[in-house]
Amino acid sequence: MSVVAVSTLDWTMKKVSNQQWQWVGQMAWLADSNNLVMVAADRSASPRQIWNLAYPSGEARRVTNDSNNYNRLSLASDSSVLAALQVKLVSNVWLVPAGNSIENLDSAARWRKAGAIRRV
């Protein structure tokens, strides 16, 4: 997948970067009109990160570099503030001896069963 700019005068398309993307989400131009910020993944196993694309050079620079995913990018009109929704994936692995249930091993599970803890 490529990122392209489309002229509003004649609808011609020009690649912004030669970088190939596995996934591209929301984008926003910085106030200087020389940089584009976007949420994207460069490989299939990569988390969705915030990237900066220089225009017209096409140089891609990762703004975030962690194991979280980002969505819902928003940029102040003067580019002084960038906001994004950070999504953390939390996983648990349980090893339970045969014949036992998880409720016997996890006090939090008893709380969940009683309705005191709810996952949303």
Per-residue pLDDT, averaged over 20-25, amounts to 94
Domain spans of the chain? 4-87, 90-120
Whether pTM exceeds 0.75: no
Q: What is the pLDDT of residue 120?
A: 47
Contact 80, 74 (CB under 8 A): no
Helical (H) or strand (E) element with 41: strand 35-41
Q: What is the pLDDT of residue 10?
A: 96
Find the length of the chain: 120
Task: Tell me what percent of the residues of the chain surpass a pLDDT of 70.
Answer: 78
Query: What is the distance of C-alpha 102 from the center of its chain?
Result: 33
